[in-house]
Amino acid sequence: MIDSYKHKGLRKQLVDTIREKGIVDEEVLNAIGKIPRHLFMDSSFLEFAYQDKPFPIGSGQTISQPYTVAFQTELLEVKPGEKVLEIGTGSGYQACVLEELGAKVFTIERQKKLYLKSKKFLAELNYKAKIFYGDGYKGLPAFAPFDKILITAGAPELPADLASQLKTGGMIVVPLGRGGIQIMARFIKKEDGSMRKEDHGTFRFVPLLKKLADD
């Protein structure tokens, strides 16, 4: 697995691009600047790895656009040591960004092939994120409560099980909406258990699906 000067240079340009698009959190920008995104993609796409675009990763899924990864991560306001649950491991790239911010990362993927691939790959890169094969709608009750929850697929509504696995004062960032377009929502859990909701603009995600896929 090679991370050349050329890759590093392209990555620096990518960081400049997403900074220009409005990302201000230096920790998030550092993480994007550090992680070798080209290694998370199929080799035929290597030359595109540092464009600010989503790309196919197999099993009909995509690695999110770097700006979108940075935007969701910035909204989540991750602090070192926090327990963060990600729904939709995909390539594992977002999980690594969260880990670079010092989070203890738990992540769930419903496509068995992607789960197996990302579990092996993250271990090779020495990331410690705990990866689970399962239905993200159900969360991980055995490891709850979480400080933060990040959903990286478009959900029709806020999954109730996930809301119940969030600490008071915790946040859930989720692209909400059916069909091709979602509104990025941030929910903050109040003392009485109810959620305060904020909207943060429109994005496009693959859908959060209900059944497990074991191929």
- Kindly report the number of other CB atoms within 10 A of residue 6's CB atom: 11
Interface region with ligand SAH, contact rule CB under 6 A, candidates 8-16, 88-96, 170-178, 195-203: 88-96
Nearer to ligand SAH, 142 or 192 (CB): 142
Q: Which residues of 79-107 are buried (b: 16+ CB within 10 A; e: fewer)?
A: eeebbbbbbbbbbbbbbbbbbbbebbbbb
Q: Look-up: residue for tokens 């926090």?
A: 82
Q: Which stretch binds ligand SAH (CB under 6 A): 1-9, 13-21, 91-99, 174-182?
A: 91-99
Listed ranges 98-106, 134-142, 164-172, 187-195: which one lies at the site for ligand SAH (CB under 6 A): 134-142
State how far the Cα of 146 lies from the Cα of 63, in Å rounded to an integer: 24
Among 90, 139, 175, 177, binds ligand SAH (CB under 6 A): 90
Q: Is 209 in the site for ligand SAH (CB under 6 A)?
A: yes
Whose CA is closest to 91, among 71, 117, 65, 73? 117
* Type of residue at 59: S
Spot the catalytic one: 44, 59, 64, 118: 64
Is 64 marked active-site?
A: yes
Report which secondary-structure segment, H or E, holds 67.
Answer: helix 66-76
* Residue 68 interacts with ligand SAH (CB under 6 A): yes or no: no
User: Which residues, 25 to 64, sit near ligand SAH by CB under 6 A?
Assistant: 61-64
Size of the site for ligand SAH (CB under 6 A): 23
Whole-number Å distance between alpha carbons of 98 and 150:
10
Residues near ligand SAH (CB under 6 A): 61-64, 87-88, 90-91, 93-94, 108-111, 114, 135-137, 152-153, 206, 208-209
Residues marked active site are found at: 64
